[in-house]
Amino acid sequence: MADGRAQVRRRAGLRLWLAGGWLALLVLVAIFAPLLAPKDPLEQDLFAGRLPPFWLTGGALLGTDSLGRDVLSRIIYGSRIALTVAIVSGVITCLIGAGLGLLAGFWRGWVDVLVSRFIDIWMAFPPVLFSILLIAVIGPGLFSIIIAIVVIDWTRFARVVRAEAMAQGAMDYVASARVAGRGRMGTMLREILPNVLPIIVVLLTLEMGIAVIVEAILSFVNLSISTDDPTWGGMISEGRASIHQAWWVLVFPLVTLFLTVLSFSQLGEGLKDRFDPVLR
């Protein structure tokens, strides 16, 4: 029994390190993109279109797309957009969603009724369609993507945090804090919040992975930023169209995106196990 748990923890540990390592690497790449990228990601060279990757004859680096732009450099610069979206929209979504969830779960009353009703309505929308719809309304662009993610995904936080705050609110320590003279707001922030914080951190990590995917999907349907800008989703979209002529335009950004999304969710799951008292 004890052995099994140690094994689970060791595996969880390895998982955390691998996922965290990849994401840390990605952050460094994004910060130092101008130094790392071998070419200008926007520079076109129609005479060097669809060059294969370096190990094939006539190849260069990770190949070029149909406009002769360097795939490797575009992936490197694409990490800037992906991570910006992940961090900014993740944090804003978290603040709004967790805040509303906390209020609804601890304050109850009409706030709870309102928030719960909205969650129900949100659940009736297909999220992908919803985000595309929002982008169409507010117009493409980095800012719009972030807004779309926040508007759609706040319920992810609100649902879970609300349930958790309700559970915590029913516990004795909350009652004793109230008896000891803490106000409602104080109780919420000082007593409840620290206890739901681990869950919020896990959700935030998972949300960042989702944000990366949403950005990729929106670029894929050409609703992200301008098609020139290097986004992984945009590259994948082009690669999908020319898959039989130039597989590398699809494969390399896809692998990068896959690993990034996988890392965020593994990091989230790993953290969840860490915080889970049963495993400790």
Using CB under 8 A as the binding rule, whether residue 176 contacts another protein is answered as no
CA quadruple 176, 182, 186, 191: dihedral, nearest 10:
-20
Among 2, 35, 46, 124, binds another protein (CB under 8 A): 124
Candidates 21-29, 45-53, 86-94, 253-261 — which segment interacts with another protein by CB under 8 A? 253-261
141: left (phi over 0), alpha (psi -120 to 50) or beta: left
Closer CB to another protein, 66 or 116, in the complex? 116
Number of residues that bind another protein (CB under 8 A): 41
Using CB under 8 A as the binding rule, whether residue 217 contacts another protein is answered as yes
Q: Least distance (Å) from another protein to the CB of residue 46?
A: 25
Closer CB to another protein, 37 or 210, in the complex? 210
Q: Least distance (Å) from another protein to the CB of residue 251?
A: 7
Closer CB to another protein, 43 or 120, in the complex? 120
Candidates 46-54, 63-71, 179-187, 209-217 — which segment interacts with another protein by CB under 8 A? 209-217
Using CB under 8 A as the binding rule, whether residue 261 contacts another protein is answered as yes
Using CB under 8 A as the binding rule, whether residue 250 contacts another protein is answered as yes
Closer CB to another protein, 111 or 133, in the complex? 133
Q: Is the dihedral of CA 119, 114, 90, 168 positive or negative?
A: negative
Among 95, 111, 132, 166, binds another protein (CB under 8 A): 132
Q: Are 132 and 223 in contact (CB under 8 A)?
A: yes
Using CB under 8 A as the binding rule, whether residue 36 contacts another protein is answered as no
Among 222, 226, 228, 276, binds another protein (CB under 8 A): 222
Which residues lie near another protein (CB under 8 A)? Answer: 117, 120-121, 123-130, 132-139, 213, 216-217, 220-223, 236, 240, 243-244, 247, 250-251, 254, 257-258, 261-262, 265-266, 269
